[in-house]
Amino acid sequence: MPRASAHLARSAVALSMALALLAASGSPATAHSGAYAESATVLTTSDADTAIVGRDAHQPTSGTGSSTGPFGLLNNKVIDLSKDWREAKVCTGELSTLLRCYDSATEYRASVGLPARDVEILDKNDCSSGWLCLWDDANYRGHWLVAVRYEGTHDIAPYQNRANSVWNRYDGPAQLIDVRTLQPDDTKTMGTGYAYPDLGALNDRFNNRTDKVKLCDPRGC
- pLDDT for residue 214: 92
Q: Is residue 39 part of a domain?
A: no
CB 10 within 8 A of CB 50: yes
**Average pLDDT rounded to a whole number, residues 8-16:** 45
Beta strands in 130-199 (DSSP E): 131-137, 141-148, 152-155, 165-168, 174-178, 186-190, 195-196
CB 91 within 8 A of CB 99: yes
CATH of the domain at 98: 2.60.20.10
Task: Identify the three-state secondary structure at position 193.
Answer: coil
CA distance 204 to 191: 17
Q: What does the pLDDT look like over 141-198, one tens digit per residue?
A: 887 877 656 788 988 888 877 789 999 999 999 999 999 999 999 999 999 999 999 9
- pLDDT for residue 11: 43
- pLDDT for residue 149: 64
Domains of the chain: total: 1
Q: Is residue 208 part of a domain?
A: yes
Q: Is residue 1 part of a domain?
A: no
**Average pLDDT rounded to a whole number, residues 76-92:** 91
CA separation (Å) from 131 to 77, 112, 171?
Answer: 25, 12, 8
| Full domain range(s) for residue 178 | 57-215
Q: Is residue 188 part of a domain?
A: yes
Residue 132 predicted with pLDDT over 80: yes
CA nearest 178: which of 149, 150, 141, 211?
211
Q: Is residue 205 part of a domain?
A: yes
Neighbours of 137 (CB within 10 A): 15
Q: Is residue 162 part of a domain?
A: yes
